[in-house]
Amino acid sequence: MMNTIRPKTISLWMITGAALLCMRPLHAQTDAFYEWPAYNPTVAYDYVDEFGQIDPPTKMLDDVTGVAGSYIDGWWCFRYGARKNDLATSDSWIPMLERLNKDFAYITDVMRWPRDLRAREGYYSAVYLFGSGLSTDDAPNTALGGWQGTTYYQDRHWPMILASYYPVHCFDPAYTGDDKAFQTGAMVHEGIHCILSSMPGCKNAPWFHEGGNTWLQGTMEAQRSGDFSSIGWLSAGAMIAPFMPIECYSGWLQDDSFGGPAAEGVNMFKDEKQICTWRKLLGGAQYGECFPHAMEVILGPQSVAWVWRYSTQSGRVLQDLAEAPGGLGEIQTRRLIQEYRARQAFCDFGSWSYAFMQLLNNNWKMAIGAEWKPNWIDCDVWNVTCYAVTTQNGKELTPETRTLPGWSGANQIPLTVDPGAKQATVVFNPIGKSMSCQLVYRDTSGKVRYGDPVFSGECGIPLADVRNNVIVAVICNTDYVYEGESTRKAKFDYRLTMGEGVTGPADIYTKWYDYSAASYTVTASASGNGAISPSGSVSVDAGASSAFTITPQPGYQVSSVAIDGVKIGKVTAYTFVNVRGDHAISATFAPAGAN
């Protein structure tokens, strides 16, 4: 048991080594809420700053043999060999290239990502038909699949989409199978991989090759549709199991360790057959969009592209955010990890908050074991909750060992508070290194409140209108360097002692994070030389839609429209769909004919 002498508290961001940041008194701050400081420098990348405007291609790269036919449209070409499957026809490849031209124009012109290497060098971006007799492969024309591949030509690797007849055929308007949207969207996914493989960063971060890809495609689709109410279902892993590391491939493995950033520790074979080493749902953690969305909200949407451009020191995301020139540095990278973990406790992610909440709601209490057999270990079934199991001894809480945080992971411990208390405190006793503790809650108005994060000792937060009289202690490890097996298998232990205002642990199978309002507000504004209608504060019922028209004055044109501060193009109309949170829309105008 702890003695009754309160240890002095050092605010988390005050001292790291010899560095100083955000100096605070050496005692728990319970008289004011914590506000996340801005990050400096701004981490953002726009391809135009490096390449200028990229002109449309005019040449076909002669990097394959066996070509029997080619089709060109805009920035893209489709090529096939003499053994082409009869289901791949012009009825499918014409709309396929139309889709690719539309989507990648948005990714480049609006989201400001570069084209792939072929296009940057003046060649058409390419889709090659797998199994058709091209020199890319010797597969039969009935083979299935599709992926981003490369050819080697003129001493360089050239990315392309290598796809079987089936996803190509799914673009045919006559095809009505249930998997049409999945197959056609997957072709865009592989095209995005062509861009990512053409950028120098993240070469040791396969988890981000998938998660960053799905973020880019999903964000594009949400911005164009006006519906921010959902994100990819494999994103659920990061929310239901926050103890998993951020840079994790295949998630929480069956021996309670974690897959590394490049799937270290994951692949296992017996008699030349793969053995399942991962757990259901969590095995797809690398496809999750949660951390890139957090970067979008916290650092700005172009921060994700910055990582792809400049993450070249280690080739991993967090380490290069800390160590690459122009990045955040050590202190701010550790703070970014803590902020992400603290925001997770009540799904505080701006436009995406409801979508994060649904990841939890849709999987709550699911029984998770090995995904399929043959499996490596018959691990105990884990019933989904984002909250850590603890054992209480007096006022001390001991967390369950198997779900202790990994590197950059976190535990969430819900605590009940006295309705009459003005503040809540806990004493944080870290056993593992690089640990932090922060108290968080949602008030009855829906606002998420944060207390000061600390390394150890007393941790506090002022209490005012606490929703459900429950706060959450977020215990986080802030290590960001992956050092092999010692990191991959590490678990970071701690103890938590309940203090002032805290009456006990709360039930871990109650959705304390869950929140919805009857209506939300869209704030609409326009600069001079044009108007937006309706304007001002527009009330929208939860789940309803809200349409806006942008009209320039005579002699002017729309310069840009921003949704929640993110520019989405020069549109003259926009509709928010299935509104589940507050939004903002703003329009600016320029003289007609201006670029």
- The CA distance from 416 to 431, in Å, is 24
Q: Are 104 and 187 in contact (CB under 8 A)?
A: no
Q: Are 583 and 564 in contact (CB under 8 A)?
A: yes
User: Within a 10 A sphere around the Cβ of 176, how many other Cβ atoms?
Assistant: 8
Report, as an integer, the average pLDDT of 341-367. Answer: 98
Q: Is 232 helix (H, G, I), strand (E, B) or coil?
A: coil
- The CA distance from 303 to 309, in Å, is 10
Token output for 409: 């992971």
Residue owning tokens 């979008």: 296
Tens of pLDDT along 441-486? 999 999 999 999 999 999 999 999 999 999 999 999 999 999 999 9
**Confidence band for 430, pLDDT divided at 50, 70 and 90:** very high
- The CA distance from 585 to 595, in Å, is 21
- The CA distance from 353 to 415, in Å, is 22
Helix (H) or strand (E) holding 189: helix 180-197
What are the beta bridge partners of residue 441?
449
Residue owning tokens 């006990």: 504
Q: Is 277 helix (H, G, I), strand (E, B) or coil?
A: coil
Tens of pLDDT along 74-101? 999 999 999 999 999 999 999 999 999 9
Residue owning tokens 């703070």: 335
Closest-CA residue to 435 (of 370, 493, 489)? 493
Residue with more model confidence, 595 or 186: 186
Count of residues in the chain: 595
pTM: 0.93
Q: 349: burial class by Cβ within 10 Å (0-12, 13-18, 19+)?
A: buried
**Confidence band for 315, pLDDT divided at 50, 70 and 90:** very high
Tens of pLDDT along 514-551? 999 999 999 999 998 999 999 999 999 999 999 999 99
Asked whether the predicted pLDDT for residue 24 surpasses 50, the reply is: no
Asked whether the predicted pLDDT for residue 429 surpasses 80, the reply is: yes
**Confidence band for 31, pLDDT divided at 50, 70 and 90:** confident
Task: Please give the pLDDT value at position 3.
Answer: 32
Q: 372: burial class by Cβ within 10 Å (0-12, 13-18, 19+)?
A: exposed
Q: Are 429 and 496 in contact (CB under 8 A)?
A: yes
- The CA distance from 321 to 455, in Å, is 22
Q: Which amino acid is at 424?
A: A
User: What are the backbone angles phi and psi of residue 172, rounded to the nearest 5°?
Assistant: -60, 125
Report, as an integer, the average pLDDT of 434-444. Answer: 98
User: What percentage of the chain has pLDDT greater than the value 70?
Assistant: 95
Report the sign of the C-alpha dihedral through residues 33, 351, 183, 94, in that order.
negative
Q: 578: burial class by Cβ within 10 Å (0-12, 13-18, 19+)?
A: middle
Residue owning tokens 């690797």: 157
Report, as an integer, the average pLDDT of 229-238. Answer: 97
Token output for 508: 């871990």
Q: Are 161 and 148 in contact (CB under 8 A)?
A: yes
Least confident stretch, 12-26, 247-261, 266-280, 303-317: 12-26
